[in-house]
Each structure stands twice: as C-alpha cells, then as structure tokens.
Structure 1
Amino acid sequence: MPRFYHRGQVSNRKGKFDPNDEERVKHTKISKVWELYEDYEVKKPRLSFFSFSPRQRLERYLGLYENLPFVWRMLKDIGRIRACWFYLGVYLIIQLALSLAPAIQLWYSGQLLKIVETAVEKRTVDKQLLFRIASGRIASSLAELVLNHVTTIVVRPLNSQIKQYYTVHMFGVLARMDVPTYDDPLIQRQLEQAFPSGSRNSIVWRTVATCIHVVTSAIRLLSQLSVLYSVLNKQKDGLLFAFLSFSQPLLAWGSGYNAGIFTRVWAATTRNVDYIELSGLRKSVGDSAHRKEIVAGNMWEYMQAEYKRCIDVLGEDAVEFWDAFRYLRFHRFPTFLTILRQSMKEMPQIAFTLRAVQYPASIPVSLTSLTLITTTVSSFSNTLFSFFNETGFITETFDAIRKMYEMIDLPNRIPDGIIPYPENQQALQMGISIEFRNVSFKYPESKSYALKSVSFKIVKGQLCVILGENGSGKSTILKLIGRLYDPEEGQIFVDDQDIKTLKLADLRRAMAILFQDYTHFPLSIKENIALGDPGHSGDMERVTQAATLGGASKFIERLDDGYDTYLDRPVRDYYSGLPEGTTNIFGRAVDFGRVRGAGGMKTNEATSLSGGQMQRIALSRTFMRSLMSESNVGLLLFDEPSASLDPTAEHDLFERLRLLRGQKTMIFSSHRFGNLTRNADMILYIHDSVIVEEGSHNQLIKAGGEYARIWNLQAQAFL
C-alpha cells in the first residue's frame, strides 16, 4: 500500500487558498472528525530503497523464545475485545484463500500450456476446455481482487478495535505514573519504544498481521512450488528456464518502489470537540510539565474516564488525519476500469494461446513455456522474498510486544499506603496537621540536598508561610507533603499518621496544591479550570465562580470564545502547497517561517495571554478544587501563587484566600514579605535547605534574626 506524506511547502501560484471558495475548492467530510479541502496539482511517485542483512535477521530469531509469554498474553487480551475474534477469523480465512490464489492461477496457466502442446502435436483443440480454463483463470484473478478489497474492509474495524483497546491501556499507563517514575530518562525512552507516536497501526495489530502473513506466505510458497514443479518437470529445459528466470529477481532483491508522495494545494482541519478534547487529554498526560498537577490533583482517574468517553463517542473515527485520509483513498470498491484492467492483465497469455492454436507450427512450445516460467517464477520469487522479510520482522514485533507489556506492568516508585484517610470526612473542615521529623531529601540525579534535617509542626487550621530565597527548598516541602516524592531520611506525619501509610488517592483528594511552575493544559479554559474538581466538571456555574475567585473572569469574558477558548489548541491543522498570499486559514494565522525548517506547516494555535492571566487561570483551577469541594479538602498548598501578579492583584488574592479558607490549614511558600506574613500563624524561614527560624511575625521581629533584618530592609524601601 502506498504511503502518503505531508509537506508544508509554499506553491508558486499567486493569490491565496480559501477553503470557503466552493467554485475552486472541493470539500470532503472524511469522518466525524476531519474535513478536507482540496485543490489538486501534480501527483508524483518516488523511489526508496531498503537493505537486507541475513546476519542481523539470524540474531533476531534467537530472541523469539523469551518473548513468547508476552505474545500469549497479547492473544488472551485480544480475546477480551468485543467482536475481535469474528473479524480476526474472517481475516484469517481470507488470507488463507489469498495464499492459495497464486498456485491456482499457476495451475490454470499450466492447463493453458497443455492446450498449446495438444494443438501443436495433434492439430486440434478442445474449445470447451479452452473456454473453461480461460474463464477460470480470469475468475480466479477477479476473486483475488475482491478478496483483497474485503481485506481492507475487515482490517479497519479489526485494527481500530485493537488500537482503541490498547490506547486506553497506554493512556492509563501514562496518566497513573508518579513524578519520579515519569521523569526517569530511561522510562521515557522505554515509553517511546513501547508506544511510538504517530503510528498508523497498533503494535499489537502489526504483530498479529505479521504472524498471519508469515503462515500464509509459507502456504503460498509451498503451494506455488508444488504446482510450479509439476508444470516445469514436464517441460523440456523447464527447470533451467526457472533457474534463469529466478536469478534476475534474486540479484535485484533489496530494491523496492514506493509511490505515494504527491504535491497539491490542500488543507484539513477538525472542529469536533470530542476529538479536540481527546487530543488535549493525550497531550496532557504525555507532557512532563503537567505531571505534578495530575498526580497531586488526583486527576488521572477522571482524565482516563473522559478519554475513554471520547474514544467511545468517536469509535473508529478517533484517528489522526493521515489515517482518515488513507481510508478515504483506499476504502472504495474497485471501479469498473480497475476490474477491466485486472482482467486484461491475463489476456496476453490467453491471446498467445489462441495464436498458438491458430498457427501451431509457427510458435514453439518452448517459447510458451518460457513465458509461463518467467511470469510464475517472478511471482514465486516475490513471495519468497516477502516471506524472508516478514520472518525477519517477527522478532522485532515480538520484542515490541514485550516492551509494551513491561511498561503496562511498570510499578510506580511512590508506594501506595493501605490506611483510608480521613476516618471522618467532616474533620477536614477543621484542617489537617503536618509534621516533619528530621526530613532530608535529594532530587534524583542530584548530589546536593534540597532539604537537610528539616523538622517543624503545623497544627490544624493554621496559616503557615514558608519564606526563603529561590532554591532554598520551599517548593520541595510542598511536594513532599503531596507525596510527589518521598524523603530519603526522616518521617512526615499527617494528622499524627505516617504519610506513607495513607492511601495516596485519599491523601491527595484532601489537598489542593498550586505549584510555582504551574501549567496550562492543552484544553479549553473551561476545562482547565474544571480539572480542579473533575467531579463537577460539567457545572458551568461553579467554573465561573472559581474564575471569579481566581481573578480571571473579566479577561476570559473579553475573549472571542470566552471560556471555550483553547490556551493551546491540541489538534493541528494540516495543509500543503498553499499560495504565497495565504496568511490565515480556519481562523488561525499561518506561520510560513516554521515550514521550511521543520518540514511541516501548521497554524499558530496558542492563545496569547500574559503570565499574570495564565497564573489566574491556574489559581481558578485551585479555587475550583479547594473552595467548591469544602467537605473534601482540608489542606491548601500554594507555591509562589503571586509570582506573576501585580501588587494590587496580589493583595486581592491573599484577602480572598484568607477569608474563604475557613478553618482549613493553608500553607504558602513565598520569597516576599508583606501583609500575608504579618497575618500568618506560623512562619518558617528556610535558607540553604535548612529551617533557620520559626515563629509568628511578631516573635521573629522580636528575635532580631535574619527574618527581622530582611523585613526592616523591605520596610525602609517604602519610607
């Protein structure tokens, strides 16, 4: 099957490409998801080459045995997929039939050769026999054409069901990974190998198809070889002709032809909200920037459920553009011209037979034999080389299956606890107590301590501010409280219970965390805020209330699409060969500058918001969780929540947080001194990974230490 590529190149044609121009542009709805706008140009093929190394293939065969348990597990998983065995059975029957087709056609060719021999020797021909043989030859060829078409029909739902089943597994693997596991470079490489991006077919389907093709290729070879030998053995010098005919493709083995690249003016986009959300969710769990919020916010179960919902709604249409485009080109039943062309391909041999019958003395049988041998040996050699290639790929596909299941079974590095938390849900309204006892921690692959022998206790309902310069360890304390990491030394207690003994999902459900390096998800603003409380994601009233509390509602309402605005549109538009005058398409600007460097053209899909506006959206997500789920959250953690806010916005934010927190425990990390620290119940002043001062604002001022010195320096700046 030809492969198609997209290239973001600019056409020499002047003017611009307008998808809404119905007179010049053809609009095709490919599926529920994709829309294609076409203005055809020239279609061009190209050549490609591949190499063959027998030694490398022999080495691959040796690894088959250790991968067989994973392949067996794969087969059992496939058996659980709805209707999969039916399609797989139909596919297998068709492939077995197709494997016998070359031998059947060869047998008919041998019968035609016998008719020629009889005509030469006896000067007579059985016309009825000739008609039956010729008709059978054409019928077998047409049957092969139809079976190949049915194969394309069966493969799509089969591949789609397998791919959807495993893509949900893949999404779950990515979504459930904790931060230390996900950040490991080795795990990242293994993920890319186990779940390659942009793959048209699933690894599982490629494995199944390869195994079936190896078996059917073996059957095809044996059947062809049997019939070919019976035909050639009766012909003078038949085996010699076969050897000579076989030598040419043998020497040419290793070269191939790949047609499919073409140049045209076209564009494609999607407006399907479910597919855009699906793509955004997939992009979110695959980006390490979102990992902390997904883990700390306990979002993964909701995100996986929402991802599955989108998959179920879209069904077979939940595919990338190029998959949908290939199906558009190849799913149609062969046209009358295609059928006629397939039939006419067999006519030269039939015509040669008729001519031999008409003038038997002028055409030696040996010439007919040579023609037959040349065509059949060419088919046989192609089958043989295909068999060698497919058997070589078996080890690769089996190895990919092993890697896939190893990643599915990969445990998180943060072990789950066994004790439910809390025992009394209403107790969360009074806050959560936190205690560190001689806690030390180093980040993976770091030689220096981020925290060293840190001890403190925050009682229920307190407002605590952790102060210190950048890199002092403030954010690390919050990450350890959320169990994004575990300390190397010491213990952390939550309500006087070892934090490691508590169920992770319960613990994180009782907390709301906003990190300094907050992220925005490649979803709409509404969905970005709603992720703070996935259980109420459909409640627009709560979303707007959270946006108001986060200080984001005013600028959101001024946006053209309001809460439906995408911060970073997760689905790209595809197009190529656009005229020079095209600067905007589908409502998004075209960036020609990136085309020539990256080899692909796409629109500028990100929304331009300031750092402060982006932080307010992240704050709104925290408000959605902490203030809308009052009975579920007892601890609020804010890591530099005002870093991108102006002084007025910062003051308003702190006042809203103080007044709306009720009696819950609230912990801030900041490098700023001000009204927040003045009202704090406890201040932890941290320097160089160690807490050097602890107490209220008045206590620390009276102590005259480092806190008092910096406070006085800042105060003098405003005198």
Structure 2
Amino acid sequence: MLLAIFWTNTLSIARLAALQTASSSLQDTFESISMGLKELPTAVARVKSFYTLVDMKNELASGFTSYPPPGNKAKEGMAINIKNVSFTYKGSQASRDAITDVSLSIRAGQLVVIVGANGSGKSTLLRLLVRLYAPVSGVIELDGHPIEEYNVNDLRRAIAHLSQDHKLLPLSVAENIGVGCLEKSDDMTAIKDAAVLAGAEGLVKKFERGFETVLTPAGTAQMSFNASGNEALTAEFNKMEKSADVSGGERQRIVAARTFMRLFSDDINLVTVDEPSSALDPQGECELFQRLRNARHGRTMIFVTHRFGHLTKYADLIVCMKDGKIVETGTHDGLLKSAGEYARLYNIQASAFTS
C-alpha cells in the first residue's frame, strides 16, 4: 500500500513538473507572439522602405568619361573651376538659394579653407563638388571637364570626403576603418597606421577585443529558449550583443581613421573635410588637422570650418562666404589687411582669447 502511494505521489509530482514546464513554455510562446505582433508594423515599414530605396531612381545621371582623364596622374591634385553656380534644396522654405551665383577657381594641389557663418553655403558647395547634388544653374569643371560628364563611380573613387555626418557601421573597429580603402581592407598594418593618424589608438586599446570590437551591433542574435541556468551560454550571448561604449569624439576619430585609410589609395586626387571635429577638444582638433595636411601629398584639399586658428594660416586660398555668396578670397594676411568679413569673423574668435 505504501509503495502504491509512493508511486502515485511521484507520478503526481512528475506530472505537475511537466505541467509547469509546459505552462512556462506556452507563456513564453504567447509572449513571443505578442512581441512579434507589436513589432510587425515596424518590420513591414522597414521592408517597404528598403524596396522603396531599391527602386529609387538616381537623379544624378552618370556620365561616360572616366576619371582621371588622360594625362592626369595620381596624387597630382584636382583642378576645380566653378562658374556662376546656384543651388536650392528641394522643398526648402528659405527665402534665398543655398548658394547663389558662385564662381571660384582652385588650382590642382592647393590647400583651400572655406569659412563663414552658419547657413552661408559652405557645406552645400562641398556637396556639389563631391557630386551628392547637381547645381540648379552654372557649371562645375573638374580637370577641364564638366562634372556631369564623368562616370560617378570613377569620380567618387577619386575623392575622400570627411564630414560630421558620417556614421559608424555595425562592424568591427578594423572593418569600420578598412572600408575606407577596400583594396587594403585586410591590411592590419595599414588599419593600425590609420588609427594612429586619427588619434584613435588609445580608444582601441581600451576595448577588451581591440580592433575586433564590434561597434553598434545590429542585434541579430536571438535567445530562442530560457538559458538563465546556463551561465556560459548567457555570457556568450551577451558578448555577441554587447555594444561598445563610444563617445562623440571617439566616433569622429574612428571615422577620421577611415578617411586616412582612403588616403593610402593612389586613386585619391581631392580631399574634402567638412567640420569633422565638432566633438574633439582643441588639442585633438589641432592634431587631426595637422595630420590631414601632412597626408595631402600634392592632392587638392578643401576644408570647411568655423574655427580659423588651426587652418587658415596655412591655406593657399581662403574663401569667405556669407548668405550663399563668396564675398572674399585671398590669404590670411591679405584678408586681415582688407578688414572685411573674414577679418570680422577672425577678430571675434581672437577676442575670446585676448580680452
């Protein structure tokens, strides 16, 4: 009798445990379905957005002329001639064009610095040069040919563009830097050299996995069962999904390293730099600009900046813009003597340190 009671109780306990397990599993299933239903509209929207992008027509038609044109050697620099160019952003409610009737000549290999207040058209001018947009009117010539005649892919291979808008990719640190120069993307020596030039080597050293650290992971790994009792598996899962803690200045250094990586390519003839150091301290910005200047090697290099001290004294040509127009061009000393818009902006900055 006692044995029968024992087996009855044992079976009851086993059935209860199985029932609890099944109940827990069923609850997890319903929670997963509920979560999936909540995320379904977002997922559908993302898929729709993806196919919309795939089907989107590029309004900037590619030309048929290869770049560089015959006779233009690598690292020789790009000559730029801008004639009466105007541009307005689509849908803009502004009372004026982003840039209006701009004309400018830049010789191959020059170091050019574009300055001016916010909204003066500095960044817009660079975006036209790197073929992100096309002028509404006027002509841009690169090495003697209208910009629209060039094959877009050839042209962009010849340009290194560093801006504050560039993002980190859900890849490792090494891969984020290596994509700057695909032919050397597996060259760890070049990747480490680029990191040093950008001042990012200290950042990489603080990561446990160094250059293998994945930045902003895409979150593709999913735990399909309750692994709370498996510490090793949970730790491995958390490591896969762990996001690197990167500040704004550190992001800018990694993006800058990507640009230095591009400069290892012999294809680059033009380097455009648009306010890439907003999150860097003054010393970091000064060192970055100095290293970019040193990496020029005869290429044409154009900077857009609000802060004059680290660049304008070294410029072959300073372009001062205001309200979408070029109001002055010249050298640092010459423009100070002219006592115009450049001198006014420069003196405002200088007064903060002398008053």
What SS does structure 2 have at the residue aligned with 1:651? helix
**TM-score scaled by length of structure 1:** 0.41
Q: Which residue of 2 aligns with 1:487?
A: 135
* CA shift for structure 1 position 424: 4.1
CA offsets per residue over residues 311-354 of structure 1, 9 Å max, x none? xxxxxxxxxxxxxxxxxxxxxxxxxxxxxxxxxxxxxxxxxxxx
Does the CA contact (< 8 Å) of 2:164 and 2:252 recur in 1? no
Change in CA separation of 1:407 and 1:576 when aligned onto 2, cut-off 3 Å = closer
CA offsets per residue over residues 4-56 of structure 1, 9 Å max, x none? xxxxxxxxxxxxxxxxxxxxxxxxxxxxxxxxxx999343688xxxxxxxxxx
Q: Aligned residue pairs: how many?
A: 318
Measure the CA separation in 2 of the matches of 1:678 and 1:668: 13
Q: Which residue of 2 aligns with 1:532?
A: 180
Q: Which residue of 1 aligns with 2:270?
A: 635
* CA shift for structure 1 position 667: 0.3
* CA shift for structure 1 position 572: 3.3
Q: Which residue of 2 aligns with 1:380?
A: none
Alignment of 1:194-213 (within 5 A): 195-196=47-48
Q: Which residue of 2 aligns with 1:41?
A: 24
Of 604, 607, 611 in structure 1, the residue corresponding to residue 248 of structure 2 is 611
* CA shift for structure 1 position 411: 3.3
Q: Which amino acid aligns with 1:43?
A: L
* CA shift for structure 1 position 652: 1.2
What SS does structure 2 have at the residue aligned with 1:414? coil
* CA shift for structure 1 position 440: 1.2
What SS does structure 1 have at the residue aligned with 2:103? strand
* RMSD, aligned CA: 3.1
What SS does structure 1 have at the residue aligned with 2:326? strand
Of 54, 57, 63 in structure 2, the residue corresponding to residue 411 of structure 1 is 57
* CA shift for structure 1 position 548: 1.0
* CA shift for structure 1 position 589: 6.2
Change in CA separation of 1:524 and 1:408 when aligned onto 2, cut-off 3 Å = closer
Change in CA separation of 1:557 and 1:407 when aligned onto 2, cut-off 3 Å = closer
Q: Which residue of 1 aligns with 2:339?
A: 704
CA offsets per residue over residues 656-707 of structure 1, 9 Å max, x none? 1222211110000011110311110111111222222111111111110121
Q: Which residue of 2 aligns with 1:443?
A: 89
Q: Which residue of 1 aligns with 2:291?
A: 656
CA offsets per residue over residues 432-458 of structure 1, 9 Å max, x none? 011221111112211332211111111
Measure the CA separation in 2 of the matches of 1:407 and 1:451: 28
Q: Which residue of 2 aligns with 1:229?
A: none
* CA shift for structure 1 position 638: 0.5
The answer to whether 1:682 aligns with 2:328 is: no
Measure the CA separation in 1 of the matches of 2:331 and 2:24: 74
* CA shift for structure 1 position 641: 2.2
What SS does structure 1 have at the residue aligned with 2:67? coil
Q: Which amino acid aligns with 1:41?
A: S
Does the CA contact (< 8 Å) of 1:475 and 1:516 recur in 2? no
Q: Which residue of 2 aligns with 1:501?
A: 149
Does the CA contact (< 8 Å) of 1:467 and 1:671 recur in 2? yes
Alignment of 1:76-87 (within 5 A): none
Alignment of 1:576-591 (within 5 A): 585-586=234-235
Does the CA contact (< 8 Å) of 2:217 and 2:241 recur in 1? no
* CA shift for structure 1 position 713: 2.6
Q: Name which one, 1 or 2, has greater alpha-carbon Rg.
A: 1
CA offsets per residue over residues 139-183 of structure 1, 9 Å max, x none? xxxxxxxxxxxxxxxxxxxxxxxxxxxxxxxxxxxxxxxxxxxxx
What SS does structure 2 have at the residue aligned with 1:485? coil
Q: Which residue of 1 aligns with 2:171?
A: 523
Measure the CA separation in 2 of the matches of 1:651 and 1:193: 44
Change in CA separation of 1:715 and 1:411 when aligned onto 2, cut-off 3 Å = closer
Does the CA contact (< 8 Å) of 2:128 and 2:134 recur in 1? yes
Question: Which ranges in structure 1 are unaligned for 5 or more consecutive residues?
Answer: 1-37, 47-191, 198-285, 287-403, 591-602
CA offsets per residue over residues 490-530 of structure 1, 9 Å max, x none? 11110121000011111111110012212111111111101
What SS does structure 1 have at the residue aligned with 2:24? coil
The answer to whether 1:554 aligns with 2:202 is: yes
Change in CA separation of 1:409 and 1:465 when aligned onto 2, cut-off 3 Å = same
The answer to whether 1:692 aligns with 2:320 is: no
Alignment of 1:246-325 (within 5 A): none
* CA shift for structure 1 position 414: 0.8
Does the CA contact (< 8 Å) of 1:417 and 1:504 recur in 2? yes
Q: Which residue of 1 aligns with 2:116?
A: 468
Moved more, 557-566 or 616-625: 557-566
Change in CA separation of 1:573 and 1:193 when aligned onto 2, cut-off 3 Å = closer
Q: Which amino acid aligns with 1:539?
A: D
Question: Which ranges in structure 2 are unaligned for 5 or more consecutive residues?
Answer: 1-20, 31-43
Measure the CA separation in 2 of the matches of 1:589 and 1:503: 45
Does the CA contact (< 8 Å) of 2:221 and 2:241 recur in 1? no
What SS does structure 2 have at the residue aligned with 1:464? strand
Does the CA contact (< 8 Å) of 1:588 and 1:604 recur in 2? yes
What SS does structure 2 have at the residue aligned with 1:532? coil
Measure the CA separation in 2 of the matches of 1:587 and 1:648: 39
Percent identity of paired positions between Structure 1 and Structure 2: 40
The answer to which structure has the higher helix fraction is: 1
* CA shift for structure 1 position 608: 1.1
Does the CA contact (< 8 Å) of 1:428 and 1:633 recur in 2? yes
